[in-house]
Structure 1
């Protein structure tokens, strides 16, 4: 697995978990972590498709 993709997966998971944890405890922290999660999630999807397309063209 590409190390950049692995790192984005880890960050997406971490911030998703923190957002879920704070969802009913602290709405402000929930939104902070959810925004981080969403930012990394978008980067993850973009990188996934970039790598997928790159693989497809190298075959």
Structure 2
């Protein structure tokens, strides 16, 4: 588990990275969140590092078209 400060940081990074992604595009957002969480759990805590990981994950994220 992450402390409140780290959780807020991770949420802010996710929101910034996914600012152009609809909140309803859950598959892409979930993929990005998963990659950010994985990096944080391995010790990556810098904002720039997490954003870079998030952006990379977003480029690889599955896009579901209706």
Give the TM interval when normalised to the shorter protein.
0.3 to 0.5
Q: Which has the larger radius of gyration?
A: 1
Q: TM-score normalized by structure 2?
A: 0.34
Q: TM-score normalized by structure 1?
A: 0.37
Structure showing the higher helix proportion among its residues: 1
